[in-house]
Structure 1
């Protein structure tokens, strides 16, 4: 397509014999002609490698020794981190049912491993950037695409193999082979399934928790009971049943009974028939266990009244009985019916009326 500039001059295609050095001139002409791109087949000479810029450690032996000390110091810090991790593992053993010991073990073991990995990583990078050989080079690579002859020959080999084996025309053999390959992994699937709970109805494990009528709601992890007056508008608390900390299997019980307690404006709540008495003056309690894969739902957004699961971003609407509004979860969080006792403490009216936890369990 022809293009005329304001002066009426016509932009001509470059001649095949033009020198490479005139490409810049043509580019400038293109800018003056409204920015029309100019396509040229001219080649440019190899500019070669840029001038080598020596590092400060190449020029100053004192700087090189300083860099060397920094590198081996980082490596020794890595050794210290590994030793610290081993010492922390033995100094803070994980005792059955003791969440405090588990926290200490996790924190100090993680710090030691972090120091060990960071020391190695930073030391290796600093070594490479300051002390290893610093010379530019050219890596000549061959084309990765096969030649037309090679590609044609590959097609011929596949065609010959199909004809010689009869895979394409012996349908019974082909289909039986496909069936055998599909069925082959099934025994492994069955064996792995045997590692799971052996119950006709796995949901029965999640149908009951420690919650019962009259059980006080207590703060996690202190176990102190909480009054309705302590729950202010827009606040949220992590709750466990009264007496859970004294249970020998408290970690297993907590994995089912953990609850999030929130207070919103009662006028904002959309309550289904039969659930009118499940909240107390806008205070609602819902299972903390996500109905997707069981992660702890721990993030409450005060303005939107949304609960967020940090694992896979399932989002639940507190104003609408924690129904799912986003994410992979398919079921609302189970609600714990609550009220207050004569002293003003929040108590449960009953256990959850549906199984808590992930929805992949079969449910009757």
Structure 2
């Protein structure tokens, strides 16, 4: 057996490929080269070239008009009323303006390439990737050739309209940033300050806690052990679907839970803000504002499904895992004379994501 292995190893070591095994054959598919150039109408007819140039800069100016219209629509169709028809018109006309601006800009660039720029094909020989002294000169010459072939330098109408369209195309996006915060009014000058808006909600002393979305007030005796109830202020229903309804609901939304009183140690909780084991915390995650709605009654942990932040309800909703920077704000609660749960005050700190002006 060992002799056979030695013989096989010797045969492998002494084997040499025969030159006759590798035969050079001609390429079965010959390079056909570039097809003959077909002149376009704009290459043969100066009038057609002039029409193509006019079409290009007309499209660019149409793009400019679309950008201006989007900005005008933002001001002509405000959404501060909160009515569905106003929001629909605002989205429709701003969208039409931005769509027209981008569509006309793209069509103009395509028509410029197809009808005005040179359509001759060029072959560049493959070369080493290592830079040489002539590389920079070649790059500069390529830009010069592109400028000459596209006519960008000498066709002032196209160049001016393109620059104006490109500059105006970003203005609608910049304008829309103004809508990130409400507008202040003479009656409420702080309305336009997002920091001030996050520091106050609809909760106030004596405000009853109500079921979301029914709006029915909640009795303390009806909150069972281990339950988690989604809560809104009772007075939220008075806003209906008027201006600010969604914003106020988003800030004031609360999650109500009942634990055994012994599961709320005094060293980790403000027992004056709880009632008979019932605690209320903001439902808005302190990371990026997602709804914290998953409650595990055995461990008393709240989970944010967006980025997996976890809060320990038995320890004042302290962060025990995830990217959240601070505990969930707690709503101080008690009961009124009829046994309904009511707020003692508003939140003592801003709700929602952490930010540098929070304090």
Q: TM-score, normalised by structure 2?
A: 0.51
1:276 is displaced (CA, Å) by 2.4
1:296-307 → structure 2 map (5 Å cutoff): 296-307=291-302
Paired with 1:325 and 1:190, the residues of 2 have a C-alpha distance of 39
Q: Give the 3 Å change call, closer, same or farther, for CA 17–217 of structure 1 in structure 2.
A: farther
Q: Secondary structure at the match of 1:243?
A: helix
In structure 2, the partner of 1:236 is 228
Residues 307-318 of structure 1: matches in 2 within 5 Å?
307-318=302-313
Q: What residue in structure 2 maps to residue 196 of structure 1?
A: 180
Rounded to whole Å, the distance in 1 between the matches of 2:266 and 2:328 is 14
Structure 1 residues 156 and 244, CA gap change in structure 2 (3 angstroms): same
Distance 1:328 1:274 in 2: 22
Contact 2:290 2:306 in 1 (8 A): yes
2:336 aligned partner? 341
User: Are the equivalent residues in 1 in contact too, given 2:268–2:316 (CA < 8 A)?
Assistant: no
Taking the aligned partners of 2:299 and 2:261, their CA distance within structure 1 comes to: 14
Aligned to 1:358: 353
Question: How many residues are matched?
Answer: 212
Q: Deviations over 1:65-120 (max 9, x none)?
A: xxxxxxxxxxxxxxxxxxxxxxxxxxxxxx9679xxxxxxxxxxxxxxxxxxxxxx
For 2:296 and 2:344, how far apart are their aligned partners in 1?
26
Distance in structure 2 (CA, Å) of the matches to 1:96 and 1:363: 27
- The alignment status of 1:332 with 2:355, answered yes or no, reads no
| Residue equivalent to 2:12 | 15
Tell me by how many angstroms 1:270 deviates. 3.7
Contact kept? 1:97, 1:250, Cα under 8 Å: no
Q: In structure 1, how many angstroms separate the alpha carbons of the residues matched to 2:283 and 2:131? A: 61
Aligned partners of 2:269 and 2:315 also within 8 Å? no
Is the Cα–Cα contact under 8 Å of residues 203 and 361 in structure 1 kept in the other structure? no
1:224 paired with 2:221, answer no
1:260-305 deviations in Å (ceiling 9; x for gaps)? 0001122222445882210111110000111111111111111111
- Residue of structure 2 in register with 1:67 after alignment: none
Question: Would the aligned equivalents of 2:228 and 2:258 in 1 still touch at CA under 8 Å?
Answer: yes
> Can you give the 5+ residue segments of structure 2 that lack an aligned partner in the other structure?
16-80, 85-124, 140-169, 184-189
Q: In structure 1, what is the equivalent of residue 249 of structure 2?
A: 254
The structure in which a higher percent of residues are helix is 2
CA distance in 2, matches of 1:191, 1:16: 77
Matches within 5 A, 1:1-364: 13=9, 15=12, 153-157=128-132, 160-161=134-135, 194-197=178-181, 202-247=194-239, 248=242, 249-271=244-266, 275-360=270-355, 362-364=357-359
Instruction: Please tell me whether the aligned partners of residues 201 and 363 of structure 1 are also in contact (alpha carbons under 8 angstroms).
Output: no
Contact 1:315 1:326 survives alignment (8 Å): yes
State whether residues 210 and 351 of structure 1, in contact with CA within 8 Å, keep that contact through their aligned partners in structure 2: yes
- Deviation of 1:308 after TM superposition, in Å, equals 1.1
Gap change, CA 1:207 and 1:155, over 3 Å in 2: same
- Verify the 8 A CA contact 2:233 2:252 in the aligned structure 1: yes
Check whether the contact 2:316–2:327 (CA below 8 A) recurs between aligned residues: yes
Residue 363 of structure 1 and its aligned partner are, at CA, apart by 2.4
